[in-house]
Amino acid sequence: TPLHSEASGTAVRVTLFGGLARCDLIAAGIIGAVEEVGVNVPVVVRLEGNNAELGAKKLADSGLNIIAAKSLTDAAQQVVAAVEGK
């Protein structure tokens, strides 16, 4: 689903499992998409796989409303907290 079609929602959750794909490059793409589209809701991203830690750091350092989650459970909790404004 394109990011812009979710613009009316209250949050966006992305879960990516990078095998051959580098999660740091995927994170850079997510950052670029959020900037380009102008997403106005929290974006919670869970990265797992190749360079996941580096990707999570890029997301955290982006200055955007992007939250790097550590697990699927954490991602769900982060979405709920973001929607509730916590």
Domains of the chain: 3-84 (3.40.50.261)
Q: What percentage of the chain exceeds 70 in pLDDT?
A: 86
CA distance from start to end of the chain: 27
Per-residue pLDDT of 2-42, as tens digits, reads 444 444 557 777 776 777 789 999 999 999 999 998 888 88
Decide if 81 contacts 44 (C-beta within 8 A).
no
pTM equals: 0.78
